[in-house]
Amino acid sequence: MLKRLIFNDLRKNRLINIATCIFMAVTAMLLGLSIFLFARLYFSIDMLMRDAQTPHFLQMHTGRIEEERIYAFARSRKDVEKMQILTFLNLQNSQLSIGDISFEANMQDNGLCTQSKSFDYLLDAKNDVIYPKEGEVYVPVAYKNEYDIKIGDTFNIGNEKLIVAGFLRDSQMNSMMASSKRFLVSEADYERLKYLGSEEYLIEFRLKQGSDVNAFYTSYKDCSLYDNGPAITYPLIKLMNALSDGIMILVILLVSIVILFISILCIRYILLTELKKDMRQIGMMKAVGISGKDIGHLYISKYLMLSLIGCIVGMISALLTAKKLSINIRDLYGEPENALFIYILMLVCSVIGQAIILLSVRRSISKTKKQSAIEALLGNADISKRKNMWLTASVIVASAVFMILVPLGMKDTMADLDFVTYMGIGNSHIRADVRQNDIKKETFRFIDAIKNDERVDRYCLMQTGSYKVKLENENTYDLMIENGDHSAFPVSYKKGEAPKNENEIALSILNAEEMDLDIGDQVIVFMEKDGKESECKCTVCGIYSDITNGGKSAKACLKDDTAPIMWSIIYISLKDEGSVSDWVNEYQDMSDGIKIVKISEYLDGMYGTTIRNIANASFLTVILSGVIIIVVILLLMRLIILKERNESSLKKALGLKTFDICKEYFKKLSAYVLSGIVFGVILGVFLGQRLAGALLSMMGAQGFRFVIDPLSTFIYVPVFIAASAFAAAFISLGTIKSISASECLNSGME
Domain co-membership, 456 together with 524: yes
Q: What is the per-residue pLDDT for 258?
A: 85
Alpha carbon distances (Å) from 396 to 141, 407, 517, 728: 43, 18, 45, 14
Q: What is the per-residue pLDDT for 750?
A: 46
Domain co-membership, 583 together with 640: no
CB 60, CB 200: distance < 8 Å:
yes
Q: What confidence tens digit (pLDDT) does each residue in 626-667 have? A: 888 888 888 788 878 877 777 887 887 777 888 888 889 889
Q: What is the per-residue pLDDT for 339?
A: 84
DSSP codes, 186-251: -HHHHHHHGGGSEEEEEEEEEEPTT--HHHHHHHHHHTT---SS-EEEHHHHHHHHHHHHHHHHHH
The domain boundary, picked from 572, 592, 612, lies at: 592
Domain co-membership, 201 together with 239: no
Q: Is residue 413 exposed (0-12), middle (13-18) or buried (19+ Cβ within 10 Å)? A: buried
Domain co-membership, 358 together with 238: yes
Domain co-membership, 676 together with 704: yes
Answer whether residue 427 is part of any domain: no
Which pTM was predicted? 0.76
From 7-11, 514-518, 659-663, the region with the lowest mean pLDDT? 7-11
CB atoms within 10 A of CB 165: 20
Q: CA angle 468-440-493, nearest 5°?
A: 55
CB atoms within 10 A of CB 727: 15
Domain co-membership, 636 together with 735: yes
Domain co-membership, 508 together with 367: no
**Of residues 610, 505, 614, 612, the one with CA closest to residue 561:** 505
From 68-72, 94-98, 563-567, the region with the lowest mean pLDDT? 563-567
DSSP codes, 137-200: EEEETHHHHHTT--TTPEEEETTEEEEEEEEEEETTT-STTSSEEEEE--HHHHHHHGGGSEEE
Domain co-membership, 515 together with 495: yes
One-letter amino acid of 278: D
The domain boundary, picked from 206, 221, 251, lies at: 206
Q: What confidence tens digit (pLDDT) does each residue in 30-54 have? A: 899 989 998 999 899 999 999 999 9
Helix or strand (DSSP H, E) at 744: helix 743-749
The domain boundary, picked from 206, 239, 272, lies at: 206
CB 104, CB 91: distance < 8 Å:
no
Answer whether residue 294 is part of any domain: yes
Q: What is the per-residue pLDDT for 8?
A: 63
How far apart are the C-alpha atoms of 333 and 125, rounded to whole Å?
Answer: 9
Domain count along the chain: 4
Stretch 678-693: mean pLDDT = 83
Answer whether residue 430 is part of any domain: no
From 178-182, 294-298, 424-428, 507-511, the region with the lowest mean pLDDT? 294-298
Position 377 pLDDT exceeds 60: no
Domain span at residue 500?
Answer: 438-592
Residue 163 sits at φ, ψ, to 5 deg, of: -100, 130
Alpha carbon distances (Å) from 172 to 92, 115, 203, 362, 732: 21, 14, 13, 51, 57
Answer whether residue 614 is part of any domain: yes
Domain co-membership, 578 together with 607: no
Answer whether residue 673 is part of any domain: yes
Answer whether residue 124 is part of any domain: yes
Q: What confidence tens digit (pLDDT) does each residue in 581-620 have? A: 888 888 876 666 678 888 887 777 777 777 787 888 788 8
Position 547 pLDDT exceeds 70: no
Domain co-membership, 239 together with 355: yes
Helical segments of 290-438, H only = 292-325, 327-333, 339-365, 373-378, 390-415
How far apart are the C-alpha atoms of 743 and 750, rounded to whole Å?
Answer: 11
How far apart are the C-alpha atoms of 249 and 38, rounded to whole Å?
Answer: 6
Domain co-membership, 198 together with 165: yes
Can you say whether the dihedral through the CA atoms of 291, 292, 294, 299 is positive or negative? positive
Q: What is the per-residue pLDDT for 145?
A: 78
Is residue 667 helix, strand or coil? helix
Domain co-membership, 476 together with 402: no
Answer whether residue 433 is part of any domain: no
